[in-house]
Amino acid sequence: MQQKVDLYDSAYDNYDSNVYQQVRTETYGQDFGQTSWVTIRESEEIPQLLALNADSSVLEVGCGSGGYALHLAEKFGCRVLGLDINKAGVRNANRLAMARNLAALVRFEQRDVSTSLPFADATFEAVFSNDVLCHVQRRVEVLREIFRVTKARGRFLFSDALVISGLVTHEEIATRSSIGFYVYSSPGENERLIEEAGFRLMQMIDTTESTALIAKRWHDSREKREKELIATEGHANFQGLQRFLASVNTLTTERRLRRYLYVTAKEE
């Protein structure tokens, strides 16, 4: 059986460590504390796809260590609430909000988003979730909750890197799933669930190629810093994460797993 590998605790606990910062900068080009497949180009497109402006009230589902939510508030002056199940991520995110004088605009809460959301109907103009819903049970219920808290004419965007589009062995699934709970989907399923939850799918963007690139850069950047990372993560976890990243690269390069970005709207 595949050993459980930790990605998020070590990434968020060691957010400030030089070696983790170097890996993020080398992988993405700009450091938002990412642990996802979101390229900088996609990070720049998301605010346009969500039609963000200074009046927007935004919900980020699965905010990780908070860097991207803070970037949005800094750049657009919008209010952002970030939710994540990971305690270290949320602690780091709130610390950064204070340190950057953004606590009046941005706030983070530890929460499992598979349960109901504690917000009134129609609270947010925009909701987004970067590479998170694959970790969460009961997707259609989660989408319905997001629909409920989104304002009429609001937007919701999410990505899913686990759309199966070829033959995948049980060993590949085990390695690809070694960092935690995962749900894989068949082609067409997200589109069906989006509509079932009440949203209209506006755009679906295939980002499989850039996922392969991020996985390779992330893997290679860590490989160069093997000694320092082993000192922090331990040998077994370092190797496990390298196998995980290599499997993402192989499966997406061969297009047996695809990643899509779904842009949706709540119509009146």
Ligand X SMILES: C[S@@+](CC[C@H](N)C(=O)[O-])C[C@H]1O[C@@H](n2cnc3c(N)ncnc32)[C@H](O)[C@@H]1O
Are the beta carbons of 66 and 101 closer than 8 angstroms?
no
Candidates 89, 126, 149, 212: give the one binding ligand X (CB under 6 A).
89
What is the closest distance, in whole angstroms, from the C-beta atom of residue 67 to ligand X in the complex?
8
What is the closest distance, in whole angstroms, from the C-beta atom of residue 268 to ligand X in the complex?
29
Helix (H) or strand (E) holding 10: helix 8-13
The footprint of ligand X on this chain (CB under 6 A) covers a number of residues equal to 21
Q: Which of 232, 239, 237, 249 is nearest to 20 (CA)?
A: 232
| Piece of the chain touching ligand X by CB under 6 A; list 22-30, 81-89, 220-228, 256-264 | 81-89
Please tell me the number of Cα atoms within 13 Å of 2 on its side-chain side: 20
Please identify, using beta-carbon distances, which residue of 42 and 125 lies nearer to ligand X.
42
Q: Measure the CA–CA gap between 32 and 178, rounded to whole angstroms.
A: 24
Q: Is 109 in the site for ligand X (CB under 6 A)?
A: no
Residue window 7-26: x/- pattern of binding to ligand X, with contact defined by CB under 6 A = -x------------------
Please identify, using beta-carbon distances, which residue of 112 and 267 lies nearer to ligand X.
112
Candidates 35, 175, 178, 208: give the one binding ligand X (CB under 6 A).
35
Beta-carbon contacts of residue 103 (< 8 Å; ≥ 6 apart): 94, 97
Q: Is 47 in the site for ligand X (CB under 6 A)?
A: no
Segment 49 to 68, residues that bind ligand X, using CB under 6 A: 62-64
Parallel, antiparallel or unpaired: strands 150-164 and 106-110: unpaired
Q: Is 178 in the site for ligand X (CB under 6 A)?
A: no
Are the beta carbons of 157 and 46 closer than 8 angstroms?
yes
Beta-carbon contacts of residue 190 (< 8 Å; ≥ 6 apart): 160, 163, 260, 262
Segment 186 to 245, residues that bind ligand X, using CB under 6 A: none
Are the beta carbons of 85 and 106 closer than 8 angstroms?
no
User: Would residue 172 be called left, alpha or beta, if left means φ above 0 and alpha means ψ between -120 and 50 degrees?
Assistant: alpha
Candidates 130, 185, 208, 249: give the one binding ligand X (CB under 6 A).
130
| Piece of the chain touching ligand X by CB under 6 A; list 22-30, 35-43, 72-80, 251-259 | 35-43
Q: Is 85 in the site for ligand X (CB under 6 A)?
A: yes
Q: Measure the CA–CA gap between 177 and 209, rounded to whole angstroms.
A: 20
Are the beta carbons of 84 and 63 closer than 8 angstroms?
yes
Segment 135 to 174, residues that bind ligand X, using CB under 6 A: 135-136
Please identify, using beta-carbon distances, which residue of 56 and 86 lies nearer to ligand X.
86
Please identify, using beta-carbon distances, which residue of 86 and 150 lies nearer to ligand X.
86
Candidates 17, 57, 114, 210: give the one binding ligand X (CB under 6 A).
114
Please report, as ranges, the residues that interact with ligand X according to CB under 6 A. Answer: 8, 34-36, 38, 62-64, 83-86, 89, 112-114, 130-132, 135-136
